[in-house]
Structure 1
Protein backbone atom coordinates (compact mmCIF):
# COMPACT_ATOMS: atom_id res chain seq x y z
CA UNK A 1 0.00 0.00 0.00
CA UNK A 2 2.85 2.39 0.84
CA UNK A 3 4.34 1.77 -2.62
CA UNK A 4 0.99 2.61 -4.28
CA UNK A 5 0.67 5.81 -2.25
CA UNK A 6 4.24 6.74 -3.10
CA UNK A 7 3.67 6.13 -6.83
CA UNK A 8 0.50 8.22 -6.65
CA UNK A 9 2.07 11.19 -4.91
CA UNK A 10 5.55 10.91 -6.43
CA UNK A 11 9.05 11.08 -4.95
CA UNK A 12 8.73 14.57 -3.42
CA UNK A 13 6.29 13.04 -0.94
CA UNK A 14 8.99 10.90 0.72
CA UNK A 15 10.65 13.61 2.81
CA UNK A 16 7.44 15.26 4.12
CA UNK A 17 6.17 11.77 4.99
CA UNK A 18 9.37 11.12 6.94
CA UNK A 19 8.89 14.40 8.83
CA UNK A 20 5.26 13.47 9.59
CA UNK A 21 6.39 10.10 10.94
CA UNK A 22 9.03 11.80 13.10
CA UNK A 23 6.40 14.28 14.33
CA UNK A 24 3.97 11.47 15.19
CA UNK A 25 6.76 9.62 17.03
CA UNK A 26 7.62 12.80 18.97
CA UNK A 27 3.98 13.36 19.97
CA UNK A 28 3.76 9.75 21.11
CA UNK A 29 6.92 10.11 23.21
CA UNK A 30 5.59 13.32 24.82
CA UNK A 31 2.38 11.51 25.69
CA UNK A 32 4.37 8.65 27.24
CA UNK A 33 6.43 11.21 29.18
CA UNK A 34 3.26 12.83 30.54
CA UNK A 35 1.94 9.43 31.68
CA UNK A 36 5.33 8.64 33.20
CA UNK A 37 5.26 11.86 35.24
CA UNK A 38 1.78 11.01 36.51
CA UNK A 39 2.97 7.53 37.55
CA UNK A 40 6.04 9.08 39.20
CA UNK A 41 3.82 11.31 41.33
CA UNK A 42 1.77 8.28 42.42
CA UNK A 43 4.97 6.36 43.24
CA UNK A 44 6.23 9.38 45.16
CA UNK A 45 3.14 9.36 47.38
CA UNK A 46 3.51 5.60 47.92
CA UNK A 47 7.15 5.97 48.99
CA UNK A 48 6.92 9.22 50.92
CA UNK A 49 7.48 9.19 54.64
CA UNK A 50 8.32 11.93 57.09
CA UNK A 51 11.48 13.84 56.17
CA UNK A 52 12.98 12.82 59.52
CA UNK A 53 12.38 9.11 58.82
CA UNK A 54 14.36 9.04 55.57
CA UNK A 55 18.13 9.00 55.07
CA UNK A 56 19.67 11.42 52.56
CA UNK A 57 19.85 9.01 49.63
CA UNK A 58 16.29 7.77 50.01
CA UNK A 59 15.02 11.32 50.41
CA UNK A 60 16.80 12.58 47.27
CA UNK A 61 15.69 9.64 45.11
CA UNK A 62 12.11 9.81 46.40
CA UNK A 63 11.93 13.55 45.75
CA UNK A 64 13.13 12.98 42.19
CA UNK A 65 9.84 11.16 41.54
CA UNK A 66 7.98 14.38 42.29
CA UNK A 67 10.15 17.07 40.72
CA UNK A 68 12.12 15.14 38.07
CA UNK A 69 15.59 16.09 39.25
CA UNK A 70 17.92 15.31 42.14
CA UNK A 71 18.03 17.95 44.85
CA UNK A 72 20.35 17.86 47.91
CA UNK A 73 18.73 16.37 51.00
CA UNK A 74 19.68 19.46 53.06
CA UNK A 75 17.73 21.70 50.69
CA UNK A 76 14.73 19.35 50.67
CA UNK A 77 14.64 19.38 54.49
CA UNK A 78 14.84 23.17 54.57
CA UNK A 79 12.06 23.55 52.00
CA UNK A 80 9.81 21.03 53.76
CA UNK A 81 9.63 23.39 56.75
CA UNK A 82 8.62 26.45 54.72
CA UNK A 83 5.06 27.45 53.78
CA UNK A 84 3.78 25.82 50.56
CA UNK A 85 6.81 23.54 50.09
CA UNK A 86 5.60 21.93 46.86
CA UNK A 87 5.49 25.25 44.99
CA UNK A 88 8.87 26.21 46.43
CA UNK A 89 10.34 22.93 45.17
CA UNK A 90 8.88 23.43 41.69
CA UNK A 91 10.15 27.02 41.57
CA UNK A 92 13.63 25.86 42.59
CA UNK A 93 13.66 23.08 39.99
CA UNK A 94 12.80 25.66 37.29
CA UNK A 95 16.03 27.57 38.03
CA UNK A 96 18.15 24.66 39.29
CA UNK A 97 20.45 24.51 36.19
CA UNK A 98 21.65 28.03 37.05
CA UNK A 99 22.10 27.46 40.80
CA UNK A 100 25.09 26.18 42.79
CA UNK A 101 24.79 24.38 46.13
CA UNK A 102 27.63 24.66 48.63
CA UNK A 103 27.73 21.40 50.61
CA UNK A 104 29.88 22.92 53.36
CA UNK A 105 27.67 25.90 54.17
CA UNK A 106 24.37 24.45 52.95
CA UNK A 107 23.73 27.66 51.00
CA UNK A 108 22.52 28.27 47.44
CA UNK A 109 24.06 30.83 45.09
CA UNK A 110 24.09 31.58 41.38
CA UNK A 111 26.53 29.62 39.24
CA UNK A 112 27.37 32.93 37.57
CA UNK A 113 26.94 36.26 39.31
CA UNK A 114 25.33 37.81 36.24
CA UNK A 115 22.24 35.63 36.73
CA UNK A 116 21.48 37.73 39.80
CA UNK A 117 21.82 41.04 37.92
CA UNK A 118 18.46 42.09 36.39
CA UNK A 119 20.08 44.17 33.61
CA UNK A 120 22.43 41.39 32.49
CA UNK A 121 19.61 38.87 32.79
CA UNK A 122 17.40 41.02 30.55
CA UNK A 123 20.14 41.17 27.92
CA UNK A 124 20.65 37.42 28.14
CA UNK A 125 16.92 36.94 27.54
CA UNK A 126 17.11 39.21 24.49
CA UNK A 127 20.06 37.18 23.16
CA UNK A 128 18.20 33.90 23.76
CA UNK A 129 15.09 35.18 21.99
CA UNK A 130 17.14 36.43 19.03
CA UNK A 131 18.93 33.08 18.95
CA UNK A 132 15.57 31.31 18.94
CA UNK A 133 14.26 33.40 16.03
CA UNK A 134 17.44 33.04 13.95
CA UNK A 135 17.72 29.28 14.55
CA UNK A 136 14.02 28.76 13.83
CA UNK A 137 14.37 30.65 10.52
CA UNK A 138 17.40 28.54 9.59
CA UNK A 139 15.36 25.42 10.41
CA UNK A 140 12.55 26.66 8.11
CA UNK A 141 15.10 27.32 5.36
CA UNK A 142 16.54 23.80 5.61
CA UNK A 143 13.04 22.32 5.71
CA UNK A 144 12.13 24.23 2.54
CA UNK A 145 15.38 23.04 0.94
CA UNK A 146 14.73 19.44 1.99
CA UNK A 147 11.16 19.39 0.65
CA UNK A 148 12.16 21.06 -2.61
CA UNK A 149 14.99 18.62 -3.33
CA UNK A 150 14.73 15.17 -4.92
CA UNK A 151 14.62 12.71 -1.97
CA UNK A 152 16.94 10.33 -3.79
CA UNK A 153 19.75 12.88 -3.42
CA UNK A 154 21.77 13.06 -0.18
CA UNK A 155 21.24 16.84 -0.08
CA UNK A 156 17.57 16.34 0.78
CA UNK A 157 18.32 14.09 3.75
CA UNK A 158 21.21 16.25 4.97
CA UNK A 159 18.88 19.27 4.83
CA UNK A 160 16.27 17.28 6.74
CA UNK A 161 18.76 16.39 9.46
CA UNK A 162 19.85 20.02 9.64
CA UNK A 163 16.21 20.99 10.07
CA UNK A 164 15.88 18.70 13.08
CA UNK A 165 19.17 19.92 14.55
CA UNK A 166 18.21 23.60 14.28
CA UNK A 167 14.75 22.91 15.71
CA UNK A 168 16.41 21.35 18.78
CA UNK A 169 18.83 24.27 19.11
CA UNK A 170 15.98 26.78 18.79
CA UNK A 171 14.05 24.88 21.45
CA UNK A 172 17.04 24.98 23.81
CA UNK A 173 17.27 28.78 23.35
CA UNK A 174 13.56 29.10 24.13
CA UNK A 175 13.95 26.89 27.23
CA UNK A 176 16.85 29.02 28.49
CA UNK A 177 14.78 32.15 27.79
CA UNK A 178 12.01 30.73 30.01
CA UNK A 179 14.49 29.75 32.74
CA UNK A 180 15.91 33.29 32.82
CA UNK A 181 12.34 34.59 33.03
CA UNK A 182 11.67 32.32 36.02
CA UNK A 183 14.72 33.81 37.72
CA UNK A 184 13.25 37.27 37.23
CA UNK A 185 9.93 36.23 38.77
CA UNK A 186 11.10 34.56 41.93
CA UNK A 187 14.77 33.56 41.71
CA UNK A 188 16.47 36.00 44.09
CA UNK A 189 13.74 35.91 46.76
CA UNK A 190 13.49 32.13 46.46
CA UNK A 191 17.22 31.60 47.08
CA UNK A 192 17.20 34.07 49.97
CA UNK A 193 14.17 32.37 51.53
CA UNK A 194 15.70 28.89 51.24
CA UNK A 195 19.05 30.06 52.58
CA UNK A 196 17.32 31.71 55.55
CA UNK A 197 15.33 28.56 56.40
CA UNK A 198 16.80 26.65 59.31
CA UNK A 199 16.58 22.85 59.15
CA UNK A 200 15.36 21.14 62.27
Structure 2
Protein backbone atom coordinates (compact mmCIF):
# COMPACT_ATOMS: atom_id res chain seq x y z
CA UNK A 1 0.00 0.00 0.00
CA UNK A 2 1.49 3.33 -1.05
CA UNK A 3 1.13 6.75 0.58
CA UNK A 4 -1.79 7.74 -1.69
CA UNK A 5 -3.78 4.69 -0.56
CA UNK A 6 -3.03 5.56 3.08
CA UNK A 7 -4.31 9.11 2.58
CA UNK A 8 -7.46 7.80 0.86
CA UNK A 9 -8.11 5.44 3.78
CA UNK A 10 -7.62 8.25 6.31
CA UNK A 11 -10.03 10.51 4.45
CA UNK A 12 -12.57 7.70 4.17
CA UNK A 13 -12.30 7.01 7.91
CA UNK A 14 -12.25 10.63 9.10
CA UNK A 15 -14.56 12.22 6.56
CA UNK A 16 -13.95 14.97 4.01
CA UNK A 17 -12.87 17.37 6.78
CA UNK A 18 -9.44 15.75 6.73
CA UNK A 19 -8.96 16.61 3.06
CA UNK A 20 -8.26 20.29 3.75
CA UNK A 21 -5.34 19.74 6.18
CA UNK A 22 -3.87 17.17 3.79
CA UNK A 23 -4.06 19.60 0.86
CA UNK A 24 -2.59 22.44 2.93
CA UNK A 25 0.25 20.25 4.14
CA UNK A 26 1.02 19.09 0.59
CA UNK A 27 1.06 22.67 -0.71
CA UNK A 28 3.26 23.78 2.18
CA UNK A 29 5.65 20.92 1.46
CA UNK A 30 6.00 21.89 -2.20
CA UNK A 31 6.39 25.58 -1.28
CA UNK A 32 9.26 24.81 1.10
CA UNK A 33 10.85 22.52 -1.47
CA UNK A 34 10.53 25.28 -4.04
CA UNK A 35 12.32 27.74 -1.75
CA UNK A 36 15.18 25.28 -1.26
CA UNK A 37 15.28 24.76 -5.01
CA UNK A 38 15.54 28.51 -5.53
CA UNK A 39 18.42 28.64 -3.07
CA UNK A 40 20.11 25.83 -4.97
CA UNK A 41 19.75 27.70 -8.26
CA UNK A 42 21.29 30.77 -6.68
CA UNK A 43 24.25 28.70 -5.54
CA UNK A 44 24.61 27.36 -9.07
CA UNK A 45 24.53 30.92 -10.45
CA UNK A 46 27.31 31.91 -8.05
CA UNK A 47 29.47 29.01 -9.25
CA UNK A 48 28.81 29.89 -12.89
CA UNK A 49 29.59 33.53 -12.15
CA UNK A 50 32.97 32.65 -10.64
CA UNK A 51 33.74 30.41 -13.62
CA UNK A 52 33.01 33.14 -16.17
CA UNK A 53 34.19 36.23 -14.29
CA UNK A 54 37.05 37.93 -16.13
CA UNK A 55 38.51 41.15 -14.62
CA UNK A 56 39.94 42.04 -18.03
CA UNK A 57 36.41 42.50 -19.42
CA UNK A 58 35.15 44.92 -16.78
CA UNK A 59 35.26 47.76 -19.35
CA UNK A 60 32.83 45.87 -21.61
CA UNK A 61 29.41 47.30 -20.63
CA UNK A 62 27.29 44.56 -22.20
CA UNK A 63 29.34 41.70 -20.78
CA UNK A 64 29.42 43.30 -17.34
CA UNK A 65 25.67 43.96 -17.17
CA UNK A 66 24.72 40.49 -18.41
CA UNK A 67 27.16 38.76 -16.06
CA UNK A 68 25.98 40.62 -12.96
CA UNK A 69 22.33 40.18 -13.90
CA UNK A 70 22.90 36.43 -14.22
CA UNK A 71 24.13 36.33 -10.62
CA UNK A 72 21.88 38.87 -8.88
CA UNK A 73 18.83 38.96 -11.15
CA UNK A 74 18.72 42.77 -11.36
CA UNK A 75 19.46 44.95 -14.44
CA UNK A 76 22.16 47.12 -12.88
CA UNK A 77 23.74 49.59 -15.35
CA UNK A 78 27.43 49.12 -16.07
CA UNK A 79 28.60 52.33 -14.40
CA UNK A 80 26.62 51.46 -11.25
CA UNK A 81 28.30 48.05 -11.19
CA UNK A 82 31.72 49.66 -11.52
CA UNK A 83 30.86 51.98 -8.63
CA UNK A 84 30.12 48.90 -6.53
CA UNK A 85 33.30 47.18 -7.70
CA UNK A 86 35.33 50.17 -6.50
CA UNK A 87 33.93 49.68 -3.00
CA UNK A 88 36.30 48.03 -0.46
CA UNK A 89 33.74 45.23 -0.05
CA UNK A 90 32.63 44.80 -3.65
CA UNK A 91 30.66 41.58 -3.17
CA UNK A 92 28.54 43.03 -0.36
CA UNK A 93 28.15 46.28 -2.31
CA UNK A 94 26.73 44.42 -5.32
CA UNK A 95 24.41 42.43 -3.08
CA UNK A 96 23.14 45.60 -1.37
CA UNK A 97 22.57 47.37 -4.68
CA UNK A 98 20.69 44.39 -6.13
CA UNK A 99 18.37 44.46 -3.10
CA UNK A 100 18.00 48.24 -3.25
CA UNK A 101 17.52 48.61 -7.00
CA UNK A 102 13.74 47.98 -7.05
CA UNK A 103 13.31 51.02 -4.79
CA UNK A 104 15.21 53.37 -7.11
CA UNK A 105 14.37 55.33 -10.24
CA UNK A 106 17.15 55.40 -12.82
CA UNK A 107 17.54 58.19 -15.39
CA UNK A 108 19.49 56.75 -18.37
CA UNK A 109 20.32 60.22 -19.73
CA UNK A 110 21.90 61.69 -16.60
CA UNK A 111 22.76 58.19 -15.27
CA UNK A 112 21.55 59.29 -11.85
CA UNK A 113 19.25 57.58 -9.35
CA UNK A 114 16.60 58.74 -6.90
CA UNK A 115 14.06 57.18 -4.57
CA UNK A 116 11.09 55.73 -6.45
CA UNK A 117 8.63 56.17 -3.57
CA UNK A 118 8.30 59.35 -1.54
CA UNK A 119 8.17 57.47 1.78
CA UNK A 120 11.75 56.30 1.28
CA UNK A 121 12.97 59.88 1.01
CA UNK A 122 12.47 60.45 4.73
CA UNK A 123 15.14 58.97 6.97
CA UNK A 124 12.76 58.32 9.87
CA UNK A 125 10.27 56.57 7.61
CA UNK A 126 13.01 54.38 6.13
CA UNK A 127 14.07 53.39 9.63
CA UNK A 128 10.51 52.39 10.50
CA UNK A 129 9.95 50.52 7.24
CA UNK A 130 12.87 48.19 7.92
CA UNK A 131 10.69 46.49 10.57
CA UNK A 132 7.55 46.39 8.42
CA UNK A 133 8.31 43.12 6.55
CA UNK A 134 8.62 41.21 9.85
CA UNK A 135 5.41 42.75 11.21
CA UNK A 136 3.68 41.97 7.91
CA UNK A 137 4.99 38.39 8.06
CA UNK A 138 3.39 37.78 11.47
CA UNK A 139 0.10 39.37 10.35
CA UNK A 140 -0.04 37.12 7.28
CA UNK A 141 1.11 34.04 9.21
CA UNK A 142 -1.46 34.50 11.99
CA UNK A 143 -4.22 35.07 9.45
CA UNK A 144 -3.12 31.93 7.61
CA UNK A 145 -3.18 29.83 10.78
CA UNK A 146 -6.58 31.18 11.80
CA UNK A 147 -8.01 30.47 8.35
CA UNK A 148 -6.54 26.95 8.39
CA UNK A 149 -8.11 26.34 11.80
CA UNK A 150 -11.56 27.47 10.66
CA UNK A 151 -11.20 25.39 7.50
CA UNK A 152 -11.26 22.29 9.71
CA UNK A 153 -14.36 23.51 11.56
CA UNK A 154 -16.72 24.27 8.69
CA UNK A 155 -17.96 22.37 5.66
CA UNK A 156 -18.80 22.91 2.03
CA UNK A 157 -17.79 26.02 0.12
CA UNK A 158 -16.83 27.82 3.35
CA UNK A 159 -14.25 25.16 4.07
CA UNK A 160 -12.56 25.65 0.70
CA UNK A 161 -12.78 29.43 1.02
CA UNK A 162 -10.93 29.34 4.35
CA UNK A 163 -8.43 26.87 2.91
CA UNK A 164 -7.73 29.17 -0.04
CA UNK A 165 -7.33 32.13 2.33
CA UNK A 166 -4.91 30.12 4.46
CA UNK A 167 -2.85 29.23 1.40
CA UNK A 168 -2.76 32.80 0.07
CA UNK A 169 -1.84 34.31 3.43
CA UNK A 170 0.80 31.65 4.00
CA UNK A 171 2.40 32.38 0.64
CA UNK A 172 2.27 36.12 1.37
CA UNK A 173 4.00 35.54 4.72
CA UNK A 174 6.87 33.63 3.11
CA UNK A 175 7.28 36.23 0.36
CA UNK A 176 7.24 39.05 2.90
CA UNK A 177 10.06 37.48 4.87
CA UNK A 178 11.94 36.50 1.70
CA UNK A 179 12.07 40.13 0.52
CA UNK A 180 12.71 41.71 3.92
CA UNK A 181 16.37 42.48 3.20
CA UNK A 182 15.52 45.24 0.73
CA UNK A 183 13.98 47.50 3.38
CA UNK A 184 16.92 46.88 5.70
CA UNK A 185 19.39 47.90 3.00
CA UNK A 186 17.29 50.97 2.17
CA UNK A 187 17.39 52.11 5.79
CA UNK A 188 21.05 51.27 6.35
CA UNK A 189 22.84 52.38 3.19
CA UNK A 190 20.23 53.51 0.66
CA UNK A 191 20.89 57.25 0.85
CA UNK A 192 24.64 56.73 0.86
CA UNK A 193 24.43 54.67 -2.34
CA UNK A 194 22.29 57.29 -4.07
CA UNK A 195 24.86 59.97 -3.25
CA UNK A 196 27.75 57.73 -4.28
CA UNK A 197 26.20 56.78 -7.63
CA UNK A 198 25.13 60.33 -8.47
CA UNK A 199 28.57 61.70 -7.55
CA UNK A 200 30.21 59.41 -10.11
CA UNK A 201 27.54 59.76 -12.80
CA UNK A 202 28.13 61.70 -16.01
CA UNK A 203 25.61 62.27 -18.82
CA UNK A 204 25.51 59.45 -21.34
CA UNK A 205 27.22 60.33 -24.65
CA UNK A 206 24.06 59.49 -26.60
CA UNK A 207 22.15 62.22 -24.79
CA UNK A 208 24.76 64.79 -25.86
CA UNK A 209 24.37 63.80 -29.51
CA UNK A 210 20.61 64.05 -29.30
CA UNK A 211 20.67 67.70 -28.18
Instruction: With the length of structure 2 as denominator, give the TM-score of the two structures.
Output: 0.78
More divergent stretch after superposition (13-22 vs 101-110): 101-110
The CA deviation string for residues 90-132 of structure 1, in whole angstroms up to 9 with x for no partner, is 1111221111122112222211343131223345457666554
Structure 1 portions without partners, runs of 5+? none
CA distance in 1 between counterparts of 2:173 and 2:117 reads 23
Q: Aligned residue for 2:79?
A: 74
Classify 1:179/1:57 alpha carbon distance in 2 versus 1 (closer, same or farther; 3 Å): same
CA distance in 2 between counterparts of 1:129 and 1:42 reads 31
Q: Aligned residue for 2:11?
A: 6
SS in 1 for 2:88: coil
Instruction: Tell me how large the CA RMSD over aligned residues is.
Output: 2.7
Q: Aligned residue for 2:153?
A: 148
The CA deviation string for residues 142-199 of structure 1, in whole angstroms up to 9 with x for no partner, is 212212223xx22211211111222334445556664323222121123223333479
Contact 2:58 2:64 (8 Å CA) reproduced: no
Number of residue-to-residue matches in the alignment? 197
Question: In the alignment, which of 13, 28, 37 is matched to residue 33 of structure 2?
Answer: 28
Following TM superposition, by how much is the alpha carbon of 1:16 offset from its aligned partner in structure 2, in angstroms?
0.6
Classify 1:188/1:99 alpha carbon distance in 2 versus 1 (closer, same or farther; 3 Å): same
SS in 2 for 1:108: strand
Contact 1:100 1:108 (8 Å CA) reproduced: yes
Q: Aligned residue for 2:185?
A: 182
CA distance in 1 between counterparts of 2:54 and 2:118 reads 37
Alignment of 1:3-152 (within 5 A): 3-50=8-55, 52=57, 55-124=60-129, 131-150=136-155
Structure 2 portions without partners, runs of 5+? 203-211
Classify 1:34/1:128 alpha carbon distance in 2 versus 1 (closer, same or farther; 3 Å): closer
Contact 2:84 2:90 (8 Å CA) reproduced: yes
CA distance in 2 between counterparts of 1:175 and 1:112 reads 21
